[in-house]
Amino acid sequence: MTFSTTVIVGASGGVGRLLASALRDHVRDLVGLDLRPSADPKSFTRFFVTDGASPCTEAAAVLRQCDCAIVATPLHGGLESARVILRALPPAALFVDSFSVKLPIADVVAECGAECEHLSINPMFAPGVGFAGQNLAAVGDRARLRSDAFLRILEALGVRVFLTTAGDHDRLAASVQAATHFAMLSLGGLLAAGGQPLGALLAMSSPPFRICLALLARMSMADNHAYWDVQASNRFAADIRHAFLNEAAALQATIDADDWPGFDRAFKRISGLLKPSAEDLSALAEQLVANAVSL
């Protein structure tokens, strides 16, 4: 299926550019909207430097006639763009969002009484990584023509689509993203507060430690609004953070008590969780460690 006119709000951002590259061969008229000029104007047939929440007259006219509109921005500010677009779209159109949290946009769609198709995606990878071999969470109905066509375009690029509901997405994302980011940011804050020179830390570093620092560097160079959305807008994230702190406190208590059997039980509990995929995950770890050479 070829889309006639597709509008991407947030077209100059990382996710917007990623989706533009995926869609350009499947859309006759690919239109970009962003407050920033396009870094790659050849990706679009038309580009409007305008706000998705208050589009210029020409962009608003395109939204009323398009068959697909995508909001590829952080949740903060993006929900207002979604409201404007949902009220403008024709009933037969497809509305796509790439927000990292899904229940808030599900509430907005219900609030607007939108008749169009809604497909909510979350690429579980940074845009620069590309689709091949990565996971993409999707909330929607593949029985709907345009939603299925959109996902097929992305699947052809090698991404693995995981269909779920908005609530289950946010519960899983609390573990997959909120807890992971919380742990990494806590480690980064600990090191920053410790006052030990980075050079000394790197000179004595192990491969796992260098991998952690590499992930922290990657996070620190990205748009922190996305990390904030994961923590502040996911209604399940607070419980996950408290559970994380409880696990850390329990481990601390085990060590303080010189409780080797308790420590061993903690390891075995984790081993039981990972057992179904332990060999594949261990092989992945070996690859990461082998590539984490000294700096």
What are 77-88's pLDDT values in tens digits? 899 999 999 999
Cα separation, 168 vs 249, whole angstroms: 28
Can you give the pLDDT at residue 84?
97
| Two structure tokens written together for 216 | 């922290």
With a CB cutoff of 8 Å and minimum separation 6, the contacts of 284 are: none
> What is the DSSP secondary structure assignment for residue 128, as one 8-state letter?
G
Token pair 């609004």 is found at: 225
Can you give the pLDDT at residue 39?
80
> What is the DSSP secondary structure assignment for residue 277, as one 8-state letter?
G
CA torsion through residues 205, 209, 211, 213, sign = negative
Cα separation, 171 vs 240, whole angstroms: 9
Can you give the pLDDT at residue 42?
85
Along the 295 residues of the chain, how does pLDDT read in single tens digits?
A: 779 999 999 999 999 999 999 999 999 999 999 999 988 888 899 999 999 999 999 999 999 999 999 999 999 889 999 999 999 999 999 999 999 999 999 999 999 998 999 999 999 999 999 999 999 999 999 999 999 999 999 999 999 999 999 999 999 999 999 999 999 999 999 999 999 999 999 999 999 999 999 999 999 998 898 899 999 999 999 999 999 999 999 999 999 999 999 999 999 999 999 999 999 999 999 999 999 998 8
| Two structure tokens written together for 101 | 């949290």
Cα separation, 92 vs 253, whole angstroms: 58
List pLDDT tens digits, range 28-63. Answer: 999 999 999 988 888 899 999 999 999 999 999 999
Q: Of 31, 28, 26, which Cα lies nearest the Cα of 1?
A: 26
Can you give the pLDDT at residue 77?
87
Can you give the pLDDT at residue 45?
96
Could you count the other beta carbons within 10 Å of the beta carbon of residue 112?
17
Do 6 and 69 meet the contact criterion of CB atoms below 8 Å apart? yes
Query: What pTM was estimated for this model as a whole?
Result: 0.93
Do 5 and 67 meet the contact criterion of CB atoms below 8 Å apart? yes
Can you give the pLDDT at residue 195?
94
